[in-house]
A and B are shown apart, each in its own frame.
Chain A
Amino acid sequence: MKDLMDGNTAAAWAVKLARVKCVPCFPITPQTELIETLAKWKSEGKWNGEFRTMESEHGVLAAALGAEMTGARTFTATSSQGLELMHEILPIVSGTRNPLVMANVSRGISAPITLWSDHNDFLSVRDCGWLMFCCETNQEVLDTIIMAYKISENKNVLLPSLVNMDGFIHSYTRMEVDIPDQKKIDKFLPKLNLKIKVDVDNPLSLGVPVMDEYSFFRVNLHKAQLNALHVIKKVQKEWAKFTKRKYDLVESYKLSDADVALVGMGANATVMKAAIDSLRNKGIRAGLLRLRVIRPLPKDEIYNMLKDIKKIAVIDQNISPGIGGIMFPEIKSCLYDSDAIVCNYVAGLGGKPISQQIYEKFALETLKTKKPFRKFVI
């Protein structure tokens, strides 16, 4: 079934299709309509999970963790300051290996306060042990949330997933979205069967303190992230079989013969693609690498796609004060033995609109430069 829907509704559909049992939540712009949709469906009897509005986002993630620990499939969503408030609990969820899925509707972080999108909230989770997906379209939001359950719940992974959509551009803009058939989803995503859980018939002590074993458990988190690379590929292949929608760890757009490459993520990637097409029409061989899976970082795929390109511009819609764009050093680390000139643009903070023409300019500047540079669009 195809319908026009915004990102919040697409995410709610994914929750319903994945037969999620528990949703603790808290309102925050631009995520609120997502939980309102679920509350409405619950009231109308269209979705029959447990639903609670908590006292804070911190309480939301603590409750989501508790619910998932009993073996019930759990979802929640947040944004910006809400995600920041959850921070203490983020590594506890991954450290206790609970495969819940959360959507982040990205919005710049305060101060100064803004309602508009950038990726600082989302990327602040990168050291917390969560799998991280960054979506470009509302269809991708729906698809990724359902796939994320299958990936997270894989016994070789058992890590939580964070699925990002951009505030306003996704959350409040309607796009064509295909809603898969429930029967097909049920076949794709079996019931959750956690082996280690809170159960009075099989009492276990969970979240216990350790002595010497701390490094063992922390390093195992890293190993599980690396396992996820294979699992994500496998699950995406399976997804493509019955939906005809193909996803990869990173998306290559006209990169194979490119002289200059942009590297970007999120909704702005669509504008970047238009810029690439326009440049190609003018005879300039430009391409785009769209980052989709941020954790685990698919280093080999990024290297293979960029290794023959001499001019690369990483476009960060985020800023880490004191170093610059966050993804720039990550991409550079993937290209450690390449002689490419890699530049960095920090652009689109707090939802500042960056037009197709400006992305074209970024590509042309990068193509012409003989030395790497870093620029900030204010």
Chain B
Amino acid sequence: MVEKSKKPEKRIGIKDLPKEDLLIGGPPTCAGCGAELGQKLVLKALGKKTIIINTSGCMTLTPIYPFTPFKVPWVHVAIETGGSAATGILMGLRAQKKDKNVNIVVYAGDGASYDVGFESLSGMAARRENVIYICYNNSSFGNTGFQWSTSTPTGSMTTTTPPGKKQPIGNIMPRKNLAKIMAAHDIPYVATAAIGYPLDFINKLRKASEIRGPKFIDLLTTCPTGWGTDPSESIEINQLMVQAGLWPVYEYENKELKITIEPKFIPVERALLRQRRFKHLKKEHIKKIQEMVNKEWKLIRQGKYMEVEMY
């Protein structure tokens, strides 16, 4: 079932990308913001005929009246309505026969996708809407200053899971695995990606745009202010998370899981201890996290990672 990473046949290289940026300079996001970079890559991959639906979060602040850096239609909707607003926009365009070759993209944070907007995301998937849903995942409620979301990994400090005497590990909960939940909706395309590997992400976006039906991509984005990393290290830290096996990068279609970035499995502490959010971790915590990673990859290697019976 599981293939080791090899190059896909029609892989898009950096030279195949348009020079024009559809997200131009000027957005007031933090230096080194991974979500902002993700947005730029989405438009590089999908082009002008793309509608971005943004749910309340960091990326809502990309345009501020009366200025906008977007050269495509961009709509901000309430935090929990990404999937439903996308359905509405699709309905409106279909009713006017304007939906052909248009990419309807939801670009929502992990709090908006994993937690408060999960119902609308699940509804959209269940109704088989032709939408690309991208979760930009900074593993927290980032815009409000780094609070716990169900995407926060075990051991992460957040302002609502501060490490203390009684709970020295910080966040004790395991991360909710939204990509697996979306795969269980039996939708045609589910993938994870990381901004440290832009070409991998772009290839997945291009593929998604050619598939009809709901598509879900969970994109790991570095958050320098929340993760406590230097803005200049955003790409490197993101790559370390992948290389340690902490963020499996794969795609899942036709019941097949394909690892698209094969990690080197560096010890997890090499990725974790570069970030302020994990600095409090003691040896036993790191050991525990390493065990969790090993267990997750064992399932991947055994081809049991996505196993859900559909009747």
Chain A positions within 8 Å of B39 at CB level = none
A69 to chain B: which residues have CB within 8 Å?
Answer: 75, 88-89, 92
Instruction: Say yes or no: is A88 at the interface (Cβ < 8 Å to chain B).
Output: yes
Q: Is the CB of B92 within 8 A of A21?
A: yes
Chain B: CB-nearest residue to A50: B91
Q: Across the interface, do A211 and B64 meet the contact criterion of CB distance under 8 Å?
A: yes
Separation in Å of the A306 CB from the closest CB of chain B?
A: 40
The reply to whether A55 and B123 contact each other, CB–CB distance below 8 Å, is: yes
**Chain B residues, Cβ within 8 Å of A64:** 88
Residue in B53, B68, B71, B91 whose beta carbon sits within 8 Å of that of A24 in the complex: B91
Given A52-B127, A208-B63, A209-B61, A70–B70 Cβ distance below 8 Å?
no
A343 at the interface (CB under 8 A from B): no
Inter-subunit contact A198/B73 (CB<8 Å): yes
Give the residues in chain B near A200, CB-CB below 8 Å.
Answer: 48-51, 72-73, 98, 102
Contact B74 A66 (CB under 8 A): no
Q: A66-B86, A203-B70, A208-B63 are in contact. Are A72 and B91 (CB under 8 A)?
A: yes
Interface residues of B in 57-103 (CB under 8 A from A): 60-61, 63-65, 68, 70-78, 80-81, 83-96, 98, 102
- CB of A59 within 8 A of CB of B123, answer yes
Who on chain A is nearest to B99 by CB?
A70
In the complex, A22 Cα to B87 Cα: how many Å?
A: 11
- A50 touching B51 in the complex, CB below 8 Å, given contacts A63-B87, A70-B89: no
- Find the residue from A52, A56, A59, A206 having the highest chain B CB count within 10 A: A59
Chain A residues whose CB sits within 8 angstroms of the CB of B51 once the complex forms: 198, 200
Tell which of B48, B70, B83 touches A205, judged by Cβ atoms closer than 8 Å.
B70
**CB proximity to B under 8 Å, residues A192-223:** 198-200, 203-211, 213
Q: Which residues of A contact B21 (CB under 8 A)?
A: none
A-side interface residues, number (CB < 8 Å): 40
Query: Do B76 and A207 touch (CB < 8 A)?
Result: yes
Bound CA–CA A198/B53 (angstroms)? 10
The answer to whether A31 has its CB under 8 Å from any CB of chain B is no
What residues of chain A lie closer than 8 Å to B127, measured between beta carbons?
52
Q: Which residues of B contact A54 (CB under 8 A)?
A: 84, 87, 123
Q: From residue B235, how far is it (CB to closest CB) to chain A in Å?
A: 27
Q: Say yes or no: B91 contacts A63, CB within 8 Å.
A: yes
Give chain B residues whose Cβ lies under 8 Å from the Cβ of A74.
Answer: 88, 92
Complex Cα spacing A191 to B5, Å? 54
Whole-angstrom CA separation of A203 from B51 in the bound complex? 9
Asked if A143 is at the interface of the complex by the 8 Å CB criterion, the answer is no
Residues of A within 8 A of B77 (CB): 62, 65-66, 92, 207
Query: Is A360 an interface residue, CB under 8 A from the partner?
Result: no
Minimum C-beta distance from B22 to chain A (A): 9
Query: Which residue on chain A has the smallest CB distance to residue B93?
Result: A70
* B64 nearest in chain A by CB position: A209
Question: Is A49 in the interface zone, CB < 8 Å from B?
Answer: yes
- Chain A residues in 8 Å Cβ range of B65: 208-211, 213
Q: Looking at B50, B65, B71, which has the most chain A CB atoms within 10 Å of its CB?
A: B65
- Asked if A71 is at the interface (CB within 8 A of a chain B CB), the reply is yes
Among B72, B87, B102, B119, the residue within 8 A (CB) of A66 is B87
Q: Which of chain A's residues has its CB closest to B72's CB?
A: A203
Known: A66-B88, A200-B102. A209 touches B60 (CB 8 A): yes
Q: How far is the CB of B56 from chain A (nearest CB, A)?
A: 9
Contact A66 B92 (CB under 8 A): yes
Q: Are A72 and B92 in contact (CB under 8 A)?
A: yes
Is A89 part of the contact surface with B, judged by Cβ < 8 Å? yes
Q: How far is the CA of A74 from the CA of B95 in the complex (A)?
A: 10
Contacts of B70 in A (CB 8 A): 203, 205
A134 CB–B CB distance under 8 Å: no
- Name the B residues within 8 Å of A60 (CB-CB): 84
Task: Say whether, besides A203-B70, A210-B64, A63 and B95 are in contact (CB < 8 Å).
Answer: no
Which of B68, B81, B102 contacts A59, CB < 8 Å? B81
Q: Assess whether B161 is interfacial by the CB under 8 Å rule.
A: no
| Least Cβ–Cβ distance between B124 and chain A, in angstroms | 8
Is A136 at the interface (CB under 8 A from chain B)? no
Q: A22, B95: Cβ atoms under 8 Å?
A: yes
Q: Which residues does chain A contribute within 8 Å of B72, judged by CB atoms?
A: 200, 203
B234 interface residue per 8 A CB criterion: no
Q: Please name all residues of chain B whose beta carbon is closer than 8 Å to the beta carbon of A62 when the two chains form the complex.
A: 77-78, 81, 84-85, 88, 120
Closest to B85 in A: A66
B159 interface residue per 8 A CB criterion: no
Chain A min CB distance to B70 (Å)? 5
Closest to A210 in B: B65
Complex Cα spacing A54 to B86, Å: 12
What residues of chain A lie closer than 8 Å to B81, measured between beta carbons? 58-59, 62, 89
Complex Cα distance, B65 from A140, in Å, reads 41
> Complex: how many Å from CA A205 to CA B86?
15
- B91, A205: Cβ atoms closer than 8 Å: no
Q: How far is the CA of A49 from the CA of B78 in the complex (A)?
A: 25
Q: Taking each of A22, A55, A205, which has the highest tally of chain B beta carbons within 10 Å of its own beta carbon?
A: A205
Chain B residues within 8 Å of A203, by CB: 48, 70-74
User: Complex formed: what's the CA distance from A208 to B69 in Å?
Assistant: 12
Knowing A55-B122, A56-B119, A208-B64 are in contact, say whether A21-B84 is a contact too (CB < 8 A).
no
A68→B76 contact, CB < 8 A: no
A49 to B85, CA, bound (A): 17
Contacts of A72 in B (CB 8 A): 91-93, 95-96
**Interface CB pairs A-B, < 8 A, 14:** A21-B92, A24-B91, A50-B91, A55-B120, A56-B120, A62-B85, A62-B120, A66-B77, A66-B85, A66-B86, A66-B90, A69-B75, A198-B75, A209-B64
The 6 closest A-B pairs by CB, nearest first: A66-B88, A70-B92, A55-B123, A63-B88, A59-B84, A62-B81
List residues of A whose CB falls within 8 A of some B CB: 21-22, 24, 49-50, 52, 54-56, 58-60, 62-72, 74, 88-89, 92, 198-200, 203-211, 213
Further 5 A-B residue pairs, CB within 8 A, beyond A60-B84, A64-B88, A69-B92: A59-B83, A92-B77, A200-B102, A203-B72, A205-B68
